[in-house]
Chains A and B, each alone.
Chain A
Amino acid sequence: MAERPWRVLLRDFFGVGRATPPAGAYTVDRHRVFVLPTAQGYAFGATAGAVLIGAINYANSLAYLVAFLLAGLGLVSALHAHRNLLGLTLRPARVEPVFAGGEALFRVCLEAPGPRPAVTVAWRRADAGTARARWHEVDAPLPGAGSVCVELPVPAPRRGRLALGRLRVGTRYPLGLVRAWSPLELDTGCLVYPRPAGALPLPAPASPDPAPASGARGPAEQDFAGLRDYVHGDSSRRIHWKAAARGRDLPVKLFAGEAGQEVALRFPEAGAGGPEERLSQLARWVLEAERAGVRYALELPGTSLAAGHGEGHAERCLAALALYGARPGTP
């Protein structure tokens, strides 16, 4: 970034040599900055007007000057606010997937070639208990050249891909009298897994274990193999209440046959409810299998994932569940 004055002027006023921002990042340029007075700015203007009327009435020259100085201050602060946004780059950071019903935490990083005090990022989110989305604002000050990242929590009620939606990067710097802002949309999304739910037990392991027919015996009849910690979605029937009473926090019973074996998690077998309920059941199974240390395969209509185990496998399975039925092409 060669900051030679003439080049700055050419770039910012005539668009010479301005590159389009790469996908996913957004750099504020002067064509996309809006400036309007704030409520405080209007009050300030009214004060300047009152001073002007007083000046006319008393024919007081210096009062005229004060009124005009206040007016000038308003205009100049608009220029400063405008300039405070220019060159600011916003880039989305990685977003951790969440389960439906939770809260997606979007992260956006701001970078500027110089100090940009008092910058805010506004985004839309629905408040708890309301359906309508409202603008929220978070401070992202850049006191010196450098970068800062802000977190924008957005409720994720449904599985699928949650878009961050429209953002506004804005500033009230330097006097709070005018607000400059630039609307933008970043190419970022958060994967929302189905909410783990459902009461069905993990399906019995498939082939390698020849003995009893799968699904015929409930977990209660299997051999007790040990305890593990509670995972969201575990059935309350499997909690070892006695051990819990002894002080361990919510231990869950683990049965022989669940470890070191392979289960197939199939869409049709995940209960009798609608597709969403089945996906929830599958999600719970994935978590359960993962915790139980069982290798598991996932079979959805149109998609199937070979048996596997580990964090990466779980993420792939949950992603498949999250995007089930979504238009192809999205990751």
Chain B
Amino acid sequence: MNAPPRVSTPQVLWLVGAIAMVVLPHAGRVPLWATALFLALALWRLAELAGRATPPGRAVRLALALAVAVGVYASYGQVFGRNPGVALLVAFSGLKLVETHSRRDAFVGVLLGYFLVVTNLLYTQSIPTGLYLTAALTLLTATLAALALPPGTAWPVRRQLGLAGSLLLQASPVAVALFVLFPRLPGPLWALPSDAHSARSGLDDTMSPGLISRLGLSDEVAFRVRFSGAQPSRDELYWRGPVLWTTDGRSWSAGEGGQESPPQVLAEGPTTGYQMTLEPHGRRWLYALDAPVEPPPGTQVRGDLQLLAAAPVRQRMRYEATSATRYRLPALGERQRRLALELPPGAHPDAVALARGWLAGGADPEARVTRALLLFREQPFVYSLNPPLLLGDPVDEFLFGSRKGFCEHYAGAFTVLMRAAGVPARVVTGYQGGEVNPLDGYLVVRQRDAHAWAEVWLEERGWVRVDPTGAVSPARVERGLDAALPEAVAPFAGLLLDEDSGVYRLLHGIRHGWDAANNWWNQWVLGYEQRRQRELLGRVGIDPSDWRRLGTALALLTGVPLLVVSLLLHLRRGRRLDPARRAYDRFCRALARRGVARAPAEAPLAFARRASRSLPAEAGTIESVTGAYVAVRYAPSGGDLERLRLLVRTFAAASRWPRGQSRGTRAGGTRFD
């Protein structure tokens, strides 16, 4: 009314705790100085509570605010955008803490906290984040509730948190109903700041030794696949990504090879339909099983069968496609043939000499391919995640020196050999294999399944996939990286576990469970966008564009849970009566049976007077019960609850039977009461 009420010590503690909780995950995202400033200001506020500091003056706060703005500009070169915005919010929430002295300030602080919760979601929406932020929301709501208590009152922490938790729990059905039914709008309302999406891990559009093996230890999911029919066998699961045509002798890049119109794919066997859920990787290409026959709508198919989306994939993306795993690609243009034979002049002299030897030996192209694979199989080549660093000519040194390499070494060297031997060849990068989660049936492909292989052009058969890694380590293709390289079993903290051991199976089971939960979360919570909403609502017969039916459903789905909450609140009302009140109510019921009912708002003493007039015989009892009740309820000393209960019990038992009945019956009655 007049001056806004001041915050109490518990209220400040709630606020500082809640704000600290939502700021904490940002600590690694904002510059160090912003975190340090927040911490310093929070501590300042706590010191002020303890009486060891005075609040900063207006001038100091203004100077700090300016310094924060300058600092953010210095750190980011701008003050708009996601990261600068979050840094500003973090620093300003610290400033808000030191200037919080009235309840109104504290309330603004809580609203800031709710906002900070959402800023966390711009970085990650994983299940652990969701759980953490749910806890943060509970703390913020508890703070809000603490601020609404009358001055001078404070509840115990558990009660305050319990109230906040139950409020959030009661609000959640409404939230879920709105979540399902609120129309989803595609696309941003206005241009997103350029840093809205951070860099993602995944394949690059170039390949050089070490780039793919770098991913070998990453357990991050690249994409998930659900097959609409039977799943092809594991050694056919080659997920095509960037196709690389050009090499400078060390690294491979896409070059100009794919700029042709898409070739005609002649399927030689059943095709496979599937739905991909691609994790954002910040690049334009999409992954597809080997040779896409029916690409997803809105995508472009390049000449080398690589799929391109209209824009870089910045959000989890779902698409459907049909592919062939046995197929023919009949055509090879003249330009493509030239590109597929090109080698940097003067590079890899030993490898080129070896391959020229095969060519001179008169073997046909297919035999030359076999010769190269035999080379990998018969020489002591080793498949390894940690190949030695190649300082000289990478291909020559690998083929004739170290002979240790990961898939990119084999694919690169093999393609060089083929080109030198006059067989058009190109490198394909992507993923190979994947793991079926038995819990939800999705095939999960992780970064560690990243792979590189080669395709060679054979006149009679077209482009043919050749995986030189399979020649060295068949297990990689048939059973995956874990089987081929036990030391690469990263998820279990580098433990070398036997695949059949109980611990391994247990950990594997946990991982499957966790992964299925994540997938469900991704598919139905995070991936709940316009299309999925349409699909789900369509299943229950609601057309999302029919606003009347949508509105009815929304009203029903939010109204019913609210009605339930309302009913529960009502029913709980009676259960919280204190024992004295319960005893007294029982006494009143007994009197009501005798014809004297207490009006709802009649004071106990007034009622006692009236009842004594109506039942003069019971006046003594009425007086002693009422006196005992009033003493228990209102006397400072507390009164004797047991005596009250005893009096009421006796009176109620006596009142159950009309006067004149035998004493024996009445005495017996008390036992049941």
Contacts and interface: CB of A to CB of B under 8 A. Distances in A.
Interface of A: 1-5, 8-9, 12, 18-19, 21-22, 25-27, 40, 43-44, 47, 50-51, 53-66, 68-73, 75-77, 79-80, 83, 86-87, 89, 91, 111, 113-115, 117-118, 120, 136-137, 139, 141, 143-147, 172-177
A174 B189 contact: no
Given A47-B115, A114-B576, A65 B175 contact: yes
Nearest to A65: B179
Interface in B153-212: 153, 163, 167-168, 170-176, 178-179, 182, 185-190, 192, 196
Contact of B575 (A3, A62, A83): A3
Among A61, A66, A173, the most chain B Cβ lie within 10 Å of the Cβ of: A61
Given A2-B585, A27-B601, A118 B150 contact: yes
A60 B129 CA distance: 14
B121 interface: yes
24 contacts: A1-B585, A9-B567, A19-B599, A21-B600, A27-B600, A47-B115, A57-B189, A58-B196, A59-B188, A60-B118, A63-B118, A65-B179, A68-B176, A79-B566, A80-B167, A83-B569, A86-B570, A113-B573, A113-B574, A118-B149, A139-B150, A147-B634, A173-B148, A175-B167
A72 B171 contact: yes
In this complex, the interface size class of chain B, counting residues with CB under 8 Å from chain A, is 35 or more
B174 A72 contact: yes
Contacts of A12: 570
Contacts of A65: 175, 179, 525
Given A1-B588, A56-B189, A60-B125, A66 B137 contact: yes
A43 B108 CA distance: 9
B603 A8 contact: no
Interface string B518-532: 000000011111000
Given A9-B570, A71-B174, A175 B148 contact: yes
A61 B527 contact: yes
B574 A3 contact: yes
B460 interface: no
A133 B19 CA distance: 41
A117 B170 CA distance: 19
A279 to B, nearest CB: 35
A230 to B, nearest CB: 36
Contacts of B192: 57-58
A60 B122 contact: yes
Given A62-B526, A173-B148, A174-B163, A145 B581 contact: yes
A114 B577 contact: yes
Contacts of B589: 2
B111 A69 contact: no
Contacts of A59: 186-188, 315, 529
Given A4-B574, A25-B601, A83-B569, 18 more contacts: A5-B571, A25-B602, A47-B114, A56-B188, A59-B529, A61-B527, A62-B130, A62-B525, A69-B172, A72-B170, A86-B573, A89-B600, A113-B573, A117-B153, A120-B150, A145-B581, A147-B633, A176-B147
A144 B578 contact: yes
Contacts of B423: none
A20 B576 CA distance: 24
B125 A61 contact: yes
B121 A63 contact: yes
Interface of B: 1, 107-108, 111, 114-115, 117-118, 121-122, 125, 129-130, 133, 137, 141, 144-145, 147-151, 153, 163, 167-168, 170-176, 178-179, 182, 185-190, 192, 196, 315, 525-529, 558, 562, 565-567, 569-571, 573-578, 581, 585, 588-589, 599-603, 633-634
B166 to A, nearest CB: 9
Interface residues of chain B: helix, strand, loop or mixed (majority): helix
Nearest to B173: A72
A68 B122 CA distance: 17
Contacts of B562: 75-76, 79
A95 to B, nearest CB: 16
Contacts of A57: 188-190, 192
A8 B574 contact: yes
A72 B168 CA distance: 8
Contacts of A77: 167
Contacts of B196: 58
A216 to B, nearest CB: 55
B157 to A, nearest CB: 16
Among B111, B173, B196, B573, the most chain A Cβ lie within 10 Å of the Cβ of: B573
A59 B197 CA distance: 12
A254 B566 CA distance: 70
A259 B558 CA distance: 80
A172 to B, nearest CB: 5
Contacts of A3: 573-575, 577, 585
A120 B153 CA distance: 14
A69 B602 CA distance: 42
B22 to A, nearest CB: 11
B132 to A, nearest CB: 12
Contacts of B117: 66
A165 to B, nearest CB: 18
Contacts of B130: 62
Nearest to A139: B150
B4 to A, nearest CB: 11
Given A58-B122, A73-B171, A50 B115 contact: yes
A176 B125 CA distance: 30
A201 B283 CA distance: 105
A277 to B, nearest CB: 37
A91 B601 contact: yes
Contacts of A21: 599-601
B128 to A, nearest CB: 12
Given A40-B107, A60-B122, A69-B172, A175 B144 contact: yes
A176 B107 CA distance: 10
Contact of A73 (B168, B190, B577): B168
Contacts of A118: 148-150, 153
Contacts of B133: 62, 66
Nearest to A74: B171
Contact of A56 (B107, B185, B571): B185
Top 4 A-B pairs ranked by shortest CB distance? A3-B574, A72-B171, A176-B148, A72-B174
A224 to B, nearest CB: 48
Contacts of B633: 146-147
Contacts of A53: 189
A43 B567 contact: no
Contact of B577 (A58, A79, A113, A143): A113
A240 to B, nearest CB: 44
Nearest to B187: A59
B153 A68 contact: no
A70 B178 CA distance: 11
B151 to A, nearest CB: 7
Nearest to B571: A5
Contacts of B163: 174
B118 A136 contact: no
A10 B286 CA distance: 62
